[in-house]
Amino acid sequence: MQNHLIVLDLDGTLLTNDKAIAATTKETILKAKEAGHHVMIATGRPFRSSVPFYKELGLITPIVNFNGAFVHHPLNSRWETFHRPIDLSVVHDVVSSVHTYQYENLLAEIKDDVYIHREDEWMAPLYTMGDPLVRIGDLRETLPADPTSLLISADEQHVPAIRIHLEDVHAEVIEHRRWGAPFPLIEIVRKGLNKAVGIDLVAKEFGIPRERIIAFGDEDNDLEMLEYAGVGVAMGNAIDSVKQIANEVTLSNEENGIAVVLQERLKL
């Protein structure tokens, strides 16, 4: 069988609800690697909170972080890093404009450095993993350079109104996505970026056509990735829009949905 590129989202996809890789799923992925297939991660997370799973699976591929805004090869410094941050002036405009809406906090990241608008125990798990540099204060004053991404924390009921505002006012310069439970967050990256952009870079590097890409996801930041892949797979726990565009729907992240598809399609 020809080599495939297997692309894994993390939260709600590769990871169980306890943020672990199920034994059967891990065993199947390792078998896929042994059979000569390439396995990579594509996530909205920063690298610092993705690297434990990258290491657990023994990956040797590039990784897509921040929904395509940062793509690099952790083990090969000669691989050309792709980093497309948001213009700082745009971030200042967004921060100023959302003050008219009900939100809880703002968090920006420059690769693995964190800048948070105000101290926030609820958001701590998002910025403490990996022991990054953390600065607290008004982002319009503390951000020293263009950030890779911007997160807006808000109560679930206020998220739609903020997203409508972002679409109406800033749609020409940013992309915005909603995170799923347990964090009702809006993530913002530079316009034109998504996971498919990063996957395309890696697929071309490996010489793998789209028809031999199998991608797994569950949330709206996976839509472009599943559409781009030859086989886009929605998890059983995925939101409806993801299931509607996917080529197939597998079992949930709690039921080894990834393993089921790989075992069948790759004859593992």
Which positions are annotated as active-site residues? 9
Nearest-CA neighbor of 37 among 13, 1, 8? Answer: 1
Backbone angles phi, psi at 47, to 5 degrees: -65, -40
Two structure tokens written together for 201: 């870079």
Q: How many CA atoms lie within 13 A of 232 on its CB side?
A: 22
Cis peptide before 182 (omega within 30 of 0): yes
Q: Please, which residues have CB within 8 angstroms of residue 263's CB and are 6 or more apart in sequence?
A: 28
10: left (phi over 0), alpha (psi -120 to 50) or beta: alpha
Cα dihedral 8, 183, 115, 142, rounded to 10, equals: 130
Q: Which long-range contacts (CB under 8 A, 24 or more apart) does 133-138 make?
A: 138/95
Counted residue by residue, the chain has a size of 268
